[in-house]
Every structure is written in C-alpha cells, then in structure tokens.
Amino acid sequence: MERTIGNLGEEIKQPSNPYANLSQRGLRRSQVNAVKIMVPHLGVLGEKDNSQDEKTVQLNSGYNLRHPRQKAGQHIRAVGEVNAIRRYMIDHGLLTSMAAKDWDPKLAKWARLGLPNGQIARSVYGESKRTDENVRMSCNVKLDINGTTHFGEVQYYFQAETGHAQSSALAVIRLYSEPDAIILQRSYNTVWMCHPQGDAALMVVDIENIIAVVGMIPEPFYGGAGAGEQAERSDRFFVVEKTGLEVGLMAGELQSVEND
C-alpha cells in the first residue's frame, strides 16, 4: 500500500491541484489493471517483459526457462539424481525397468525458471556459481503434486524428450519433510515446520507442478542461550510465502532480472 501511494505520488504532474490529479492517476492505474485482467495477452506499450528475450525458452502455461544454462549436455554423476531421473522415466513409461539399469542420463542444466505469477525460481546449480554477496536465496518452491502441497529445494531444471511434440521441462527437487503435525494443528494450519531430507528425497517433477517461490527460514533454538550468547539453530525450517502474489499478478508485475 505504501509503495502504491509513493508510485502514484511520483506521477503527479499538476502541482496546483495535487489531490485531484492523484485521484485521476489512481483511477487510470485501476483501469489499466482491469484491462490486463480482462485481456491478459494485451501488452502495455513501454512495459519491459524480460521473459521475451533471446535467453529464454517459452513453455506452456506461462512458464519459461532462463539462462544461464550448460552449453552442452553432460552426464549426471550424482547417484541420487540419476536414480530420481530414472524413477521419473519409468513411472511415465519412457523407460522399462530393465533398460533403466544401464541408462546413463545426459542433459543440459538450466539455472532459472520464470513462473506465471511473475516470480523467478532459481536453483542450487545456478546459485552455487555466484559469489557470496550475490547469492539469491530463492531456490525453495511450493509444489502441487497430485493435489497435495509439498515444499522443496530446486537443484536444477532440464529438458527431456518424452515423446510429445516438444521437449518436456522438468526439475530435480530435494523435498522437505511433511510438516510437524502438532505445530501445524496448534497454528491452525498456518506454520509449516519441516526439515531437509537429503538425497533420499530427490525427485523429478514437471515444471508446472511448481506454484511459487517460498522462503525456508531456520527455526531459532533458544534452549540454554543466556545473555550475550548466540542462540543455536535446529535442523528445522518454517515456510514463509510471499503475500499478495495474486494482486501482483493482476497488476502485471514482473520480477526484474536486470544484472542478474
């Protein structure tokens, strides 16, 4: 709300009658937003859309893969990742169990994924190449898998031939555990407290299973911490979702990727 008031205030062009001008600016903003909702594909002149540049691959339902990416496919050496990819291929009828035993996956990793809500989901692959001061902690995502909500950390994205007209875009995810049932109940389904599960929880999902970027905040552990002592941390994390995503999508707000 404060940002909106500030933006509208910056647009005032009639100092002699600022309040009337501010009202008209607000009305114009509302009209533009209404048009965007009624005609989503209608672009606004002068609005920069980073999803349309040459470093993206447009996918279905408003998703897009974004650079950086590996120039050529490379063999996957991590056993947990190989097993997760094999399971996906078998479950979707792309490989038989017998053929999967000797199948050596080779793929090109992508670092980022643009979501329909304007967010950019990053990955461990992309962020591991950054210097400490430039790391973006947005590798954790909310997933909808068969109608059930999950949370996980994206390792990387890739494209695979699945027999369809175009390659399927997939993501290797390290899932967090199910939420602590007691905390979830006592918080009226508000606080999702989870813990990492390691490579045993690696799985491959379709990118359309990814709903939004979330924050996974470490749970402070205050047991035994006296005055001047730094509190220890447990191995659990609680989920923080960005509020107002629906409103931001209505306004046509896209996350900037300049200098990214």
- CA of 201: how far to CAs of 100, 151, 196, 246, in Å? 19, 11, 9, 30
Q: What is the pLDDT of residue 55?
A: 76
pLDDT (tens digit per residue) in 51-93 = 455 578 888 888 999 999 998 888 898 999 999 999 998 888 8
pLDDT (tens digit per residue) in 140-199 = 999 999 999 999 999 999 998 765 555 689 999 999 999 999 999 999 989 999 999 989
Q: What is the pLDDT of residue 63?
A: 93
Mean pLDDT value across the chain: 80
What's the rounded Cα separation, in Å, for the pair 83 and 74? 16
Q: Which residues pair with 181 in a beta bridge?
A: none
Q: What is the pLDDT of residue 81?
A: 94
DSSP assignment of the chain: -HHHHHHHHHT---TTSHHHHHHHHHHHHHHHHHHHHHSTT-PPTT---GGGSTTEEE-GGG-EEEEEE-SS-EE---HHHHHHHHHHHHHTTSS-HHHHHH---EE--EEEEE-TTS-EE--HHHHTTS-GGG-----EEEEEETTEEEEEEEEEEEEE--SSSSPEEEEEEEEBPPPPHHHHHHTTS---EE-B-GGGGEEEEEGGGEEEEEEEEEEEE-TT--TTPPPEEEEEEEEEEPTTHHHHHHTT-----TT-
Kindly state the average pLDDT of the residues 119-130: 89
Block residue for tokens 């494209």:
159
Kindly state the average pLDDT of the residues 246-259: 50
The domain made up of 50-221+233-241 has a fold known as SH3 type barrels. (2.30.30)
Whether cis (ω within 30° of 0) applies to the bond prior to 68 is yes
The pTM of the whole model exceeds 0.85: no
Domain with CATH 2.30.30 in the chain: 50-221+233-241
